[in-house]
Amino acid sequence: MSAIRRYMKVICAAAMGLALLAVCFAAGGQETASGVQLSSLMGVGALTAGCVASERREKKAKELQAARAPEGAARFADIAGAEEAVEEMRRLADCLRDPERYARAGAHLPRGVLLYGPPGTGKTLLARALAGEAGVAFLQANGSDFVQMYVGVGAKRVRELFKKAREHEKCVVFIDEIDALGKRRGGGEENAEREQTLNALLAEMCGFKQDGKLLVIGATNRPEVLDEALVRPGRFDRRIELGLPDLRAREQILIHHLSRAGADCGAGELPLLTAGFSGAGLESLVNEAAMLAAGENTRIQKEHLERAYLEVLAGKPRWDAKPQGAQLRRVAVHEAGHALACLRFLPEEPVLLASVIPSTKGAGGYVLRRPSEALPTRRSLLGALRAALAGRAAEELCFGAEELSAGAASDLKAAEQLVRRLALDYALEPGLGLMPGRKPDEAALCAILDREYAQALAYLRESRQSLESLSAALAEKGQMDLPAILAAI
């Protein structure tokens, strides 16, 4: 039905032509009929061609209109916690609006801007806001759209994209995940299609005039893999980093989303608890709280934010799957060991919640800590290492070495990553040298793990009474926050 509606003019023209031909055949005189038929066919062809051309013009006009920034398009006011990046983009928007003023001063709009940073930090939103603020057309493509099996297809699509951009008076072209087509050439990886596509992009980036009417924005999470010819001055002249938000930025982002959701509470301690969250992660967190509030037919409250935070990190608790008997005792001892080691060796990361209730994210039990934004030190890394090994140490202390379970498998993987960061990445282990990233000495790493496991075991042996009382309380209550943990020990 949609196809019929789209080509209604052509169908009507063809129907009129058929009707006219039928009349001509019914007319008297073969010679007269033949002349009339020829004239009719020419008229029908002209009418059909006119209808097709009209359809193309209307389709092109609709595409141009759709690309223009609408009234409700994103603006810089919709972006919180990225003042430096917004300020740089604001100058670009001003240059797009009034390129003549910059030309009088001898300046021109950069050909390209590269936005880079971790996923979810607002690169796409910033590009859309630039187009919305400048009131210009916005064309978006993904780097994978140009990477095709057949040689020449990707290059053709690049040329078509820039041709479409030039049809607008002013335009912002946004290429997301540009590393898919702009990856560094050479290095033993030959791909004729990708190289042709990249060459087409390089030619287009140098081909359009610097008249302040066209700006190309690329976004990537991996700027280090881009080809040098693509990121040289004259193509992507400006690079803007969008990193994970700091404490102040997280507070601004949360307040922004909470105000849009009409919440009845502020951000509270949530900015402190969300270190390492991206802007998209914070928006998702507020949305989870809004869904919880909607289920209770109310606005977002503090308790909704707390529940959403726990569910985002650990998943929803599965109370119906709570272990029983000996299994509950083992899980409680394991998590109590983690909690006590965190209190002793990681005071900068206070415990938020200890749980023996399985979660929807696959955890049989867990201890949540408030993340720290401080630079890692040897003391903090060793503390995290002991806390990771303390669950296994608690099991050995309470059940004996012969009854150790496989429940510490994920803890051992986390401990391995920590010890590699300590000894290899940061070169913070005395006696192993200062060369970061060197070939690992597995025996030395195992010795560090054994040493720190012995430290965790010795501490829990000294705190055996606290371990027993906390594990009993955990088995009874299922979940305990920091005040309850402190009261139990």
Strand order in the sheet with 351-355: 366-369, 351-355, 479-481
Distance CA 292, CA 297 (A): 9
Rounded distance between C-alpha atoms, residue 218 and residue 443, angstroms: 45
Query: Where in the sequence numbering do the catalytic residues fall?
Result: 335
Contact assessment for residue 93 and residue 134, using Cβ atoms and an 8 Å cutoff:
yes
How many Å apart are CA 449 and CA 389, to the nearest integer? 9
Q: How distant, in Å, are the alpha carbons of 4, 44, 145, 178, 198 from that of 185?
A: 47, 54, 19, 14, 9
CA distance 227 to 225: 7
Q: Is residue 33 within 8 Å of residue 25, measured between CB atoms?
A: yes
> Can you name the residues that pair with 238 across neighbouring β-strands?
113
Q: What is the C-alpha to C-alpha distance for residues 82 and 48, in angstroms, rounded to an integer?
A: 54
- Count of C-beta atoms within a 10 Å radius of residue 107: 13
Cα–Cα dist 349/343, whole Å:
8
DSSP characters over 165-187: HHTSSSEEEEEETTHHHHBPP-T
Residues forming a β-bridge with 175: 141, 218
Task: Give residues with Cβ within 8 angstroms of 85, minimum separation 6.
Answer: 115, 126, 240, 241, 242
Contact 275, 371 (CB under 8 A): yes
Q: In whole angstroms, give the CA distance from residue 266 to residue 289.
A: 13
In this structure, the strands spanning 214-220 and 137-142 are unpaired
For residue 258, CA distances in Å to 262, 283, 290 come to 6, 9, 9
- Report helix, strand or coil for 226: strand
Largest CA distance in the chain: 118
